């Protein structure tokens, strides 16, 4: 199969046999690593085209087609103590892949996927991260593994926390807030329970078909419970985080929140208060997206009964935001945006 490695059976070698052959070819102390270790640990969903093997840095292995050799001074510590074929610990595998990732989002994706699938823990990853004196994106990954970032279930949720919530002084919403509907559990990506507002993050550029209708039903159920739902796409969060923050702040502000701040002199957050008018232009709306003050869901959204921000849609009375008393004269309804 490789030089010095022979199959003792007839027929086509299985995937497992090929992996064993690669480890045997690399010699003492060799182990599966990177994408191949991710494959056998169920961290990756498809086999890697090349077999990745790590060996101690004191040894040298001749190059051969189909095998990628990595050298590590920490090979003995990195090897899993029991799994066969020999392979790196899952924490080492995740950090190897994160270190080799082309982008920060890809690096965070490996970390989040390992946590989602229950393959390791934040504490375990943080421990092995500390053991690496040189690690690409160390500060960002360390932040992801702190309690402050606990509960982030996708790279998009991480971006929302890092680029929308934190720099603009928004309250920290509850991640993956569970609620019951139709006899089963469902989850809201970010819930500001004190302000009856939810933010849903659509990771796909095109959100169509059954997923779109499932999200619409969830938004409608939230509106029936008095929860206002804002929905943003990947492009919204990555390209226009300040505009997203400005919209969220305006909705939270109608329900009593007053702690937001702009992240820069040109940030639109709070610009409406400074200039006396709305300054953040509407983001592009895709089908199924709920925007502040538009659509049936927004008209059904209500604040807690008796609160200063409660409003009566039938009488179209506006609410005096944060002042504890409503206007005595009929006012125009919630502001609308054109597409």
Where do the domains of the chain lie?
1-88, 102-150, 155-300
> Which pLDDT value is given to residue 2?
81
Residues 6+ apart with CB under 8 A from 100: 34
Question: Taking the CA of residue 118 as centre, how many other CA atoms within 13 Å lie in the half-sphere pointing to its CB?
Answer: 0
**Assessment of whether the complete model's pTM goes beyond 0.85:** no
> Which pLDDT value is given to residue 215?
54
More confident position, 157 or 275: 157
Q: Can you tell me the distance from the alpha carbon of 16 to that of 336, in angstroms, rounded to the nearest whole number? A: 60
Residue range 206-261, pLDDT digits in tens? 343 444 445 555 555 556 567 888 988 877 888 889 999 999 999 999 989 988 99
Residue range 46-104, pLDDT digits in tens? 998 999 999 999 999 999 999 999 999 999 999 999 999 999 999 999 999 999 999 88
Would residue 166 be called left, alpha or beta, if left means φ above 0 and alpha means ψ between -120 and 50 degrees?
alpha
Taking the mean position of all CA atoms in its chain, how far away is CA 298?
Answer: 26
Quick one: three-class SS letters along 170-220?
Answer: CCCCEEEEEEEECCEEEEEEEEEHHHCEEEEEECCCCCCHHHHHHHHHHHH
| Rounded CA Rg of the chain | 26
Token pair of 239, please? 């390209």
More confident position, 241 or 148: 241
Residues 6+ apart with CB under 8 A from 89: 78, 79, 80, 128
- The backbone torsions φ and ψ at residue 229, rounded to the nearest 5 degrees and listed phi first, read -110, 130
Tell me what the pLDDT averaged over the chain comes to.
Answer: 77
Res 315 pLDDT > 60:
no
């Amino acid at each position: 199969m490789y030089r010095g490695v022979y199959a003792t059976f007839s027929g086509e070698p299985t995937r497992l046999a090929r992996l064993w052959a690669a480890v045997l070819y690399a010699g003492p102390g060799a182990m599966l690593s990177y994408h191949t270790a991710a494959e056998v640990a169920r961290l990756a969903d498809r086999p890697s085209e090349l077999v990745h093997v790590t060996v101690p840095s004191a040894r040298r292995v001749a190059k051969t087609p189909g095998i990628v050799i990595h050298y590590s001074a920490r090979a003995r510590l990195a090897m899993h103590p029991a799994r066969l074929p020999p392979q790196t610990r899952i924490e080492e595998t995740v950090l190897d892949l994160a270190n080799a990732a082309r982008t920060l989002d890809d690096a965070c994706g490996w970390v989040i996927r390992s946590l989602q699938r229950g393959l390791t823990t934040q504490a375990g990853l943080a421990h092995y991260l500390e053991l690496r004196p040189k690690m690409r994106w160390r500060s960002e990954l360390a932040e992801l593994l702190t309690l402050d970032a606990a509960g982030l279930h996708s790279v998009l949720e991480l971006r929302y926390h890092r680029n929308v919530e934190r720099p603009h002084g928004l309250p920290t919403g509850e991640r993956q807030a569970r609620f019951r509907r139709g006899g089963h559990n469902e989850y809201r990506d970010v819930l500001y329970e004190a302000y009856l507002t939810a933010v849903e993050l659509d990771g796909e550029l095109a959100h169509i078909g059954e997923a779109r209708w499932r999200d619409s039903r969830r938004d409608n159920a939230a509106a029936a419970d008095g929860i206002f739902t804002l929905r943003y796409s990947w492009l919204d969060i990555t390209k226009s985080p300040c505009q997203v923050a400005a919209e969220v702040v305006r909705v939270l502000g109608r329900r009593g929140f007053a702690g937001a701040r702009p992240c820069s002199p040109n940030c639109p957050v709070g610009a409406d208060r400074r200039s006396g008018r709305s300054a953040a232009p509407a983001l592009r709306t895709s089908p199924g997206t709920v925007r502040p003050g538009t659509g049936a869901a927004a008209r059904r959204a209500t604040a807690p009964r008796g609160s200063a921000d409660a409003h009566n849609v039938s009488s179209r009375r506006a609410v005096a935001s944060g002042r504890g008393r409503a206007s005595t004269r009929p006012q125009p309804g919630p502001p609308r945006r054109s597409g």
